[in-house]
Amino acid sequence: MATFFTVVFLAFPFPLLAFDISQSTRCVTIPDQMKVCRDVGYSEMRLPNFLGHSNLEAEVVPHSEDWRPLLQTGCHPQAQAFLCSIIAPVCLDAFIQPCRSLCVAVRDSCAPVLACQGHLWPEALDCNRFPDEEDMCLTPYAKLNHYAKDLPKPACQNCPSIEDAPAMKTVLSAFCQHDFAVTAKIRRFRHPGDESEFQVEGRVEFIRQGPLLPYDTQHLLQQWLLINVRCASALVRPARSQLYVLTGSVQPDGTIALIYLFPWHKKDAGIALATRKWKHHRC
């Protein structure tokens, strides 16, 4: 997963599935600039694709970029395979569409992420349009990494409270009431077109580790920023980095909810004192 995440509000300018299997097609190499499908496992695709796009440079490649922020969230392990089977179908003797069951699995995991960003699941990807598994189609596979499914996951949520210059008792209470507390520096980059990138800089330090794991927590926070783009935009001013204390809990469904964010400025004696008291006395 890339360290940088771009906040892009998807327009989904896709037509309804308009591909006629009886029409003539051609095979082309998946271009390097089509990043979302560059490492999908095959090198040639059919045109027109299953969205009816026939122009690689003017239609397929630009529209494929609309999906990159969603795929970066990791909303479903087969989201890339599903989307690329539609926008860049593999060049074989037979036409291989995604199965309806695969569409449903990806939709159920990724539609809430789109909703968090203010978008509905596109009509062009209505799962009823895809074949049953009795037909030749791309089926979902069982996730082999059983341990990964038990890791805490980011999710769409109401934005956490942000408190500047909090009192020591407020911070210490947050440490005691929530499952975890970490410090992380978040940097915001501004680009033309009002797009923003957020980066979790350096190491994430634990104050209270709880159920979080050291090797996963930075990635977890980065995914949270991308899913909760509207909350992320309120965190850090453009072209600035800010150190935060973040506290939160893991919900019964395994997702994390950030509850409080405390910007930690050099003059914030309350945060520093709360951190020292926690290390020595706990709750």
Are 122 and 31 contained in the same domain? Answer: yes
Residue 39 has pLDDT above 60, yes or no: yes
CATH number at residue 193: 2.40.50
Dihedral angle over CA of 215, 221, 224, 226, nearest 10: -100
Are 211 and 244 contained in the same domain? Answer: yes
The beta-strand segments (E) located in the chain are 5-7, 26-29, 44-47, 97-98, 137-138, 161-162, 180-191, 195-208, 240-250, 256-263
Binning pLDDT at 50, 70 and 90, where does residue 157 land? very high
Answer yes or no: is 200 within a domain. yes
| Number of domain units in the chain | 2
pTM for the full predicted model: 0.78
Contact between 66 and 119 (Cβ < 8 Å): no
At 197 the pLDDT is 76
Q: Give the domain extent around 188.
A: 153-280
Are 192 and 236 contained in the same domain? Answer: yes
Of 60, 95, 129, the last residue of a domain is 129
Residue 281 has pLDDT above 80, yes or no: no
Neighbour count for residue 97 (Cβ, 10 Å): 21
Phi, psi of 57 (to 5 degrees): -75, -40
DSSP H or E stretch at residue 105: helix 100-116
* Residue type, position 215, single letter: Y
**Average pLDDT over the chain, rounded to whole?**
85
CATH number at residue 39: 1.10.2000.10
